Amino acid sequence: MNARTNALDGKHAVVTGGGSGIGAAIAHALAGAGARVTLIGRDAEKLEAQRQALGTAQPTHCEAADVTRPEAVERAFASATATLGPVDILVNNAGQAQAAPFGKTDLGLWQRMLDVNLTGTFLCTQAALPAMIERGFGRIVNVASTAGQIGYPYVAAYCAAKHGVIGLTRSLALEIATTGVTVNAVCPGYTETPLLQESLDQVIAKTGRTASDARAALQRANPQRRFIEPDEVAHAVLWLLMPESRSITGQSISISGGEVM
Ligand code: NAD
């Protein structure tokens, strides 16, 4: 698909975790298609640098907020709406992945994974959805993971959270199907980002493997034997935002070289 460069003209898109990796690639794609983009994340400096790098003629904005904190989310969406208008598009991308054997998964790790990956998605969706329904249009895309579609060892908490994101996506899509708002999930396999590098560092530290062995071990999960590029995920998100994608809702689209089918 070649997204028309003006396909999102006039739309206000919020991307959480937009300061790096997949979120930054999505923000670039949306700005390139004409959207006014708000980046939400924890690190104000990183967000501002990314906002400037968008290099678009459209107005852009950023809000420093932790998506796990209800009052911070409420404040960020109120300020984003006051600055760039009602939110038409929400990409719930902020997330973290921490590995541990189940026996060493303490309540703190479990709660951190649920808070950022699942509760963050819930809170941002609650903040954006009422205005979408009121205006009869909205697009919500949740960046889940293949870990929301299948199990993996040593990441039970992350997998549980991402499976939860897919459950939320399906239920909400049905509940609001007649409102003009669609809700979908994209499910990347291992994608070349800072988060992947952290996972590789954990593998290297715990197993003593070399960097290239650790990369090869994770790449074996993908039938194409490669990592996904953030732009590939952004491309799928952009497609879901097009007016012609209005019949697609409640879906979990695997972007994984055929790892999940
Ligand atoms: P990343 O670390 O580059 O980006 C994650 C972003 O989320 C960062 O900018 C971070 O600051 C932000 N963030 C984290 N916790 C936050 C919080 N509490 N509040 C606000 N912002 C917060 O990693 P990425 O790989 O680009 O990850 C983006 C999404 O893609 C995540 O949801 C991740 O689970 C998912 N994902 C990544 C991969 C992969 O292999 N990289 C695979 C599947 C899914």
CA of 198 to the centre of ligand 1 (A): 11
Check whether residue 65 and residue 105 sit in a common domain.
yes
CATH of the domain at 147: 3.40.50.720
Q: Is 105 helix (H, G, I), strand (E, B) or coil?
A: coil
Check whether residue 105 and residue 181 sit in a common domain.
yes
Residue nearest to atom 44 of ligand 1 (CA): 145
- Residue 203 is predicted with a pLDDT of 86
Strand order in the sheet with 138-143: 61-64, 36-41, 12-16, 89-92, 138-143, 181-188, 252-255
Does the annotation mark 158 as catalytic?
A: yes
Residue nearest to atom 17 of ligand 1 (CA): 66
Residue nearest to atom 12 of ligand 1 (CA): 17
Q: Which residues of the chain have pLDDT under 70?
A: 1-4
**Ligand 1 mutation target, pool 14, 15, 22, most atoms within 8 A of CB:** 22
Check whether residue 114 and residue 93 sit in a common domain.
yes
Check whether residue 49 and residue 156 sit in a common domain.
yes
- Residue 69 is predicted with a pLDDT of 98
| CA distance linking residue 214 with residue 196, whole number of Å | 11
Phi-psi group of 213: left, alpha or beta (phi > 0 → left; psi -120 to 50 → alpha; rest → beta): alpha
Domain presence at residue 1: no
C-alpha torsion 237→188→170→184, nearest 10: 0
| Cα 54 versus chain centre, distance | 18
The ligand 1 atom nearest the CA atom of 43 = 11
Query: Domain of 194?
Result: 190-227
Residue 155 near residue 135 (C-beta atoms within 8 A): no
Check whether residue 32 and residue 65 sit in a common domain.
yes
**Ligand 1 mutation target, pool 45, 195, 253, most atoms within 8 A of CB:** 195
Check whether residue 130 and residue 198 sit in a common domain.
no
- Residue 233 is predicted with a pLDDT of 98
Check whether residue 220 and residue 240 sit in a common domain.
no
- Residue 4 is predicted with a pLDDT of 63
Which residues does ligand 1 sit against, CB inside 6 Å? 16-17, 19-23, 41-43, 66-68, 93-97, 116, 120, 143, 145, 188, 190-191, 193-196
pTM over 0.85: yes
Check whether residue 144 and residue 47 sit in a common domain.
yes
DSSP class of 229: P
How many folded domains does the chain comprise?
A: 2
Check whether residue 48 and residue 114 sit in a common domain.
yes
